[in-house]
Structure 1
Amino acid sequence: MRDLLAALGLALAVEGALYALFPAGMQRMMLEMLQRAPQLLRTGGVAACVLGVGIVWLARP
């Protein structure tokens, strides 16, 4: 449970830093996402999830 909370905290810190450092770029990215087909976003989300689980699996002893 401690590792899950640490991972969530790290994800929030990275995302928060992106919004703080590049607010205009994040707004442009959101507008770009609104123009994408939902299936494309779903496919990208599944791919990111699988990649993330793979990285965690490789990083854990």
Structure 2
Amino acid sequence: MEFFLTVIGVVMIVEGVPWFLSPRGVKRLLLQAATTPEYVLRFLGLSLMLAGLFLVYLTIG
């Protein structure tokens, strides 16, 4: 449970950094994402999940 909470904490830090450093840039990115076709966003999401899974496999596996 301690490891899980640590991971969640790190994710929250990483997610919060762009909002803290450049809120205007994040808003522009969100507006651009709103006009991006769904299939592109799905492919990007899948690619990021697979890359993350690969990194977890390399470190744990």
Mark yes or no: TM-score above 0.5.
yes
Report the Cα offset of residue 3 of structure 1: 3.0
Q: How many residues align?
A: 61
Shift of residue 19, structure 1, vs aligned partner: 0.4
Q: Which runs of 5+ in 2 are unaligned?
A: none
The whole-number CA distance in structure 1 between the counterparts of 2:41 and 2:13 is 23
User: Higher mean Cα deviation, 29-38 or 1-10?
Assistant: 1-10
Q: Which amino acid aligns with 1:17?
A: V
Q: Tell me what 1:12 maps to.
A: 12
> What are the Cα deviations for residues 9-53 of structure 1, in whole angstroms up to 9, with x where unaligned?
211111111101110110010011001001110111011000001
Q: Which structure 1 segments of 5+ residues have no match?
A: none
TM-score, length of structure 1 as denominator length: 0.86
**Counterpart-to-counterpart distance in 2, 1:4 and 1:55:** 16
Identity of aligned residues (%): 28
Structure 1 distance, partners of 2:53, 2:4, is: 12
